[in-house]
Structure formats: structure tokens, C-alpha cells
Amino acid sequence: MSGPALQFRDPQSVLASPVWSGLRAALNKGDRQPLHLQLTRLLRETITRADMVAEEPIPPERQLAEALDVSRVTVRKALTQLTGEGLLNRRRGAGTFVAPRIEKNFSHLTSFSEDMLSRGHRPSSQWLDKTHSMVTPDEALALGLSPGSRVARLRRLRFADDEAVAIESTVLPAYVLPDLAAVTHSLYDVLARGGFRPTRGLQRLRAVILTPAQAELLNVAEGSAGLHIERRGYLPDGRVCEINHSVYRGDAYDVVAEVHAFGE
Ligand code: 16G
């Protein structure tokens, strides 16, 4: 077994790592800010700066406290706080590890299920809404539908390995999804079967502060950051087949895109 306990046998082996020796030097006992808050802040900065990588082990509490010359309570408080923020994962019997972040490719028209499976996560959903109803004037304009047309409305809480990571709201013309019950797992699979999977998309990304209701669904602290991606999906003939608004947990997602020089 290769867990923190084996890798960090004693405080000296902890301090052999520049990350931990740097943290020890940065802690300031003369500061007015309590040590556990300093440690939480410094460790949070280290993880979000990517100085530590996904699945990197955190030394056991006792070794870490000795190495940093702080109490075990200080270490415990900091690790508990960062575990609550989703930056660390505790695995019983194995130790504490830097939580993996999910990479969302911004330049591919993939589905949530495909994104998760390609990164080794198990996708699942919880339905928040699934109805057919009348198009609103704004939606009619965006979808190119006549007033009075029917649309399908889907709202799902989406999970990666049982952890809530995104809230997705999708509006589609009813003709691309006549049977709501057909969507059991992947919406794009159902659209593909009917020949209505989008082949082109326009996306807009913006940073948001999660509303209290969104934070509760995503199981993060109120006021946490989120990423909002709006996708408009088009069929080959130019018709809009979906308008999707997805709100992702800011602490769990990295958005990546391949970019090319002009003319390439
Ligand atoms: C992605 C798409 C969304 C699509 C959904 C289908 C973005 C920003 N949005 O979340 O438009 O409806 O996947 O996922 O990527 P599914 O096939 O797993 O249900």
C-alpha cells in the first residue's frame, strides 16, 4: 500500500518536500491571524496554484503537525476545512489526498456523460424537472420557433462518482425530444438516435457566485464560485436544437481549450 503513512514516515521526510518546508517557513506565529486559518489559507493557495497535483497525499496529522511545528488541532482544523471545500479527499484507512479536478474541454461538442466517462468518472443524474410546455417569447426567438410551439424542459443535477458537480437546464423544441421518458441517462444519446444531436455549437462562459439554492444542490458553502456555460446547439441545417445552461462547481472544474494561431 502506498499511502501518506508510508511515504511520510517522520517529520524529516515531510520537510524534504519543498511544498511543506515552504509552508513551515510561511507560517507566522507572531501574526494576529490564528495558525489554523493561516495554514488553511496557505494550503488552499498551494493547491489552487497547482503546486500540488491531483491525488497527491497529505502527510498524516501527527507527522505534519511536528514538521510544521504546530499543534495537531491546528492541522486537523485546516484539513477539515479544505476537505469541506472539496479541495481534499479523505479516504478511510488510506489517508488524505488532493482532490482531482475535472477538466471540461471547451472546444468539443461533447455531452456531460462523455466528458465524465473519458476521465474515468461514473456519470449520473437526478431529475429536478422534466416537462413539455409552451415556448416563452424569448425561447421562441432563440430556437426559431413560432409562438405557441411546444418545448421540452429538462433540469438535472449531475454527478461524477456520486458527487454533485453541475446543474443543467436544457430547453429543446418538442420535435427533437417527443418522448421525455426516453432520457434515462444521456440526452445526447437519445438525440443522436433521432438524428437530432447538435453538430455545431456556440458557447459562452462566465464566472458566477452560486445562489444559495444552487450551493445547496451542489453541496458547497453559500457564496462559493461557479462556472456558467451556455451552449446553443445547431443541427446541420442551421436549426437550433438545444439551449443549455450549465452551472459547474468552481472548485471542481478546470475549463480547457485547444487554441490555434490565426491561419493554422
Ligand atoms: C453537456 C452540454 C449540454 C448537453 C449535455 C448532454 C455543455 C456546456 N453542455 O453538459 O448542452 O445537453 O452535455 O449530456 O457541455 P448527456 O448526454 O450526458 O445527458
pLDDT reported for residue 227 = 95
Could you report the per-residue pLDDT of 71-90, keeping only the tens digit for each? 999 999 999 988 877 788 88
Cα 137 to ligand 1 centre (Å): 24
DSSP for 62-117?
A: HHHHHHHTS-HHHHHHHHHHHHHTTSEEEETTTEEEEPPPEEEETTS---HHHHHH
SS3 call for 210 = coil
Q: Based on the domain organization, do 110 and 70 belong to the same domain?
A: no
| Of the candidates 255, 243, 251, the residue with the CA atom closest to the CA atom of residue 155 | 243
Q: Based on the domain organization, do 82 and 135 belong to the same domain?
A: no
Question: Would you state the cell numbers that stand for residue 218, as one nine-digit string?
Answer: 451542489
Regions of the chain where pLDDT drops below 70: 1-6, 264
Cα 169 to ligand 1 centre (Å): 9
| Pairing state between β 95-98 and 57-58 | antiparallel
Domain boundary among the residues 98, 119, 135 is at 98
Q: Is the CB of 105 under 6 A from ligand 1?
A: no
Cα 74 to ligand 1 centre (Å): 42
Q: Is the CB of 124 under 6 A from ligand 1?
A: no
pLDDT reported for residue 2 = 53
Q: Is the CB of 168 under 6 A from ligand 1?
A: yes
pLDDT reported for residue 1 = 46
Q: Is the CB of 186 under 6 A from ligand 1?
A: yes
- Residue 249 lies in domain: 102-256
pLDDT reported for residue 3 = 64
Cα 110 to ligand 1 centre (Å): 7
Cα 111 to ligand 1 centre (Å): 4
- What CATH number is given to the structural domain containing 158? 3.40.1410.10
Domain boundary among the residues 52, 78, 98 is at 98
Domain boundary among the residues 41, 72, 98 is at 98
Is residue 261, in this structure, part of any structural domain at all? no
Is residue 264, in this structure, part of any structural domain at all? no
User: Look-up: residue for cell 424569448?
Assistant: 138
pLDDT reported for residue 9 = 81
Q: Is the CB of 113 under 6 A from ligand 1?
A: yes
Q: Based on the domain organization, do 94 and 108 belong to the same domain?
A: no
